[in-house]
């Protein structure tokens, strides 16, 4: 039994026709038919039933084809691991982040990693409202700065950054310009929120419940940072955000005031647990060094 034969089985099952499968596999139809008969003889079971339009899996064939798919997927992962090490210091590293990420640490880490690995192209990928963890599991990014709380299932994560939270207000608001306010000072203000994030994420950002046991006054929803800030600027609501967002999204019609009595945002550097990508390990080392220098 060889991987080549497993690919034959999967392709025949997918096409339901030996002739079409042979075309996709770049082998002759007689050669593919012979290979199938040889496998059936080796396994001692019939894998496909023939009919006028082609073939269909038997009960045994369905089980064996399913295992063949898993075997081929594993073989592809083995090959990919080898290719990552073959690339060494070349390739592409996709770094996910949300809004202002981990503040200046995000930009500094990408720049320092690029300096140490001149053959690697670093691609920043921005996501909204907790999506960066899902993007890691989906394979859209290799490593990400994840705002907590978040679902870290299947991920390895280490906290690399903390920062205070602030409230965003329209510039003419009565609290604008203060050095700091309590979350209870804005208890009666409608608060921006999103339906795109899990409820636990929304409640943490909204400080729900509040220290006095009350619940926020829910305001308009949004799908991204830009929509949120537009509605805050026009006076429709206030928003809670990390301090770095106040710096990265400064605009004259907004005022940012420190929230003095809420826990800070924690940002984790995360990647798929067990990832053998050497570029991810190299990036993580850069982030650790820079984060240690910031302490």
Q: Which CATH number fits domain 165-263: 3.40.190.10, 3.30.565.10, 2.40.100.20, 3.40.50.1360?
A: 3.40.190.10
On whether the pTM is more than 0.75, the answer is no
Structure tokens at 64: 């064996």
Beta strands in 132-273 (DSSP E): 143-147, 155-163, 165-170, 180-181, 190-193, 217-221, 239-242, 254-259, 265-272
Are domains 88-162+266-294 and 165-263 of this chain identical in fold? yes
- Could you list the beta-strand ranges (E) of 206-260: 217-221, 239-242, 254-259
Establish whether the linkage from the previous residue to 149 is cis, with ω within 30° of 0: yes
The hierarchical CATH code for the domain 88-162+266-294 is 3.40.190.10
Name the CATH topology of 3-86: Arc Repressor Mutant, subunit A (1.10.10)
pLDDT in tens, 130-182: 999 999 999 999 999 999 999 999 999 999 999 999 999 999 999 998 999 99
The domain limits of the chain are 3-86, 88-162+266-294, 165-263
CA distance 178 to 44: 81
**Mean model confidence pLDDT for the chain:** 91
pLDDT at 54: 87
CA distance 256 to 275: 39
Residue pLDDT, tens place only, 263-288: 999 999 999 988 878 999 999 999 99
């Amino acid at each position: 039994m060889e991987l080549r034969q497993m690919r034959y089985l999967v392709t025949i099952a997918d096409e339901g026709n030996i002739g079409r499968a042979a075309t996709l596999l770049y082998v002759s139809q007689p050669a593919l038919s012979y290979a199938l008969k040889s496998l059936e003889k080796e396994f001692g079971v019939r894998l496909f039933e023939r009919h006028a339009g082609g073939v269909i899996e038997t009960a045994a064939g369905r089980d064996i084809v399913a295992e063949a798919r898993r075997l081929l997927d594993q073989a592809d992962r083995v090959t990919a691991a080898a290719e990552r090490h073959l690339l060494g210091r070349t390739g592409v590293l996709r770094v996910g982040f949300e809004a202002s990420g981990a503040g200046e640490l995000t930009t500094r880490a990408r720049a320092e990693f690029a300096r140490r690995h001149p053959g690697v192209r670093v691609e920043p990928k921005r996501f909204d409202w907790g999506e960066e963890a899902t993007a890691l599991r989906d394979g859209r990014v290799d490593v990400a700065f994840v705002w907590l709380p978040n679902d870290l299932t299947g991920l390895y994560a280490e906290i690399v950054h903390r920062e205070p939270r602030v409230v965003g207000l329209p510039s003419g608001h009565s609290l604008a310009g203060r050095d700091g306010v309590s979350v209870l000072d804005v208890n009666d203000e409608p608060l921006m929120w999103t339906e795109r994030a899990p409820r636990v994420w929304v409640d943490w950002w909204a400080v729900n419940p509040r220290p006095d046991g009350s619940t926020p006054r829910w305001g308009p929803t949004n799908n991204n940072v830009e929509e949120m800030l537009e509605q805050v600027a026009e006076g429709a609501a206030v928003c809670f955000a990390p301090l770095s967002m106040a710096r990265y999204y400064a605009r004259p019609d907004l005022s940012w005031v420190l929230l003095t009595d809420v826990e800070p945002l924690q940002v984790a550097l995360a990647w798929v647990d067990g990832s053998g990508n050497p570029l991810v390990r190299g990036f993580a080392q850069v982030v650790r060094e820079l984060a240690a220098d910031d302490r």
